[in-house]
Amino acid sequence: MAAQRSIKIKNKKARFEYEILDRYTAGIVLRGTEIKAIREGKASIAESYCEFSNQELFVINMTVQEYSHASHFNHNPKNERKLLLNRNELKKLEKEVKNTGLTIIPLLLYTNEKGLAKLDIALCRGKKQYDKREGIKDRDSKKKLARIKKSFNN
C-alpha cells in the first residue's frame, strides 16, 4: 500500500463553545465512497454532535462530500454514521449524557497510519456567554504579552 498523507479535519469552534471534560478516540462505520472522500479532505465536522440510539453512538450532521470519481452509487453527504467504542466507554458516556446533561462533540477527524478514519470525540459542557468573553480576554492579553516580549528581545 502506498504511503498516504494524513488528513486532519478540526472542529475549531468546539473549544470556544464547550468546556472539554473527557476525550475518546472512536472508529467510524463508513459506506462505499465515504472513506475516499475523507482521504481527499472533503469532510466537515463543524456543526456535528453525537447522539445515542439503542445503546449505540452515532455522529449526526457530519458532512462528507460526494466522491468525485464515483458513479450513481455515491453516498448521502449528511448521513448518520455509527461510532465504534468499546462497551464500557459507551455505557459511561451514555450515563453521563443522560444524568448530567452533557454533550458529546467531535473534535478531530483524521486518518491513522493504516489509512482508517478515526474521530476524536469529547464529553463537553456548554460554556456560558461570560466564559466565552473571559476566554477572549485571556487570549488577547497573551497576545499583547507576547508582542511586548518580542519587542524587548529585538
Return the number of other C-beta atoms located less than 10 Å from residue 122's C-beta.
22
Distance CA 35, CA 140 (A): 39
What is the reported pTM?
0.76
Query: Does a structural domain hold residue 17?
Result: yes
Query: Does a structural domain hold residue 26?
Result: yes
User: Side chain identity at 111, as an amino acid letter?
Assistant: T
Query: Does a structural domain hold residue 62?
Result: yes
Query: Does a structural domain hold residue 97?
Result: yes
What confidence score (pLDDT) does residue 1 get? 43
What confidence score (pLDDT) does residue 43 get? 87
Write the DSSP string, 24-38.
EEEEE---TTHHHHH
**DSSP label at 66?**
P
What confidence score (pLDDT) does residue 71 get? 65
For the chain, percent of residues with pLDDT exceeding 90? 20
> 61 — alpha (psi -120 to 50), left (phi > 0) or beta?
left
Query: By residue range, what is the domain housing residue 106?
Result: 8-127
- Each residue's pLDDT expressed in tens, for the chain with a length of 154 residues: 444 567 888 888 888 888 889 999 999 998 878 888 888 888 888 888 899 988 899 999 888 887 777 666 666 677 888 999 999 999 998 888 888 878 999 999 998 888 888 999 999 888 887 777 888 888 899 998 999 888 888 6
Query: Does a structural domain hold residue 46?
Result: yes
Query: Does a structural domain hold residue 63?
Result: yes
Query: Does a structural domain hold residue 3?
Result: no
CATH code: domain of residue 67: 2.40.280.10
What confidence score (pLDDT) does residue 114 get? 86
Query: Does a structural domain hold residue 2?
Result: no
Domain count for the chain, please give it: 1
Tell me if 126 sits within 8 A of 21, measured CB to CB. no
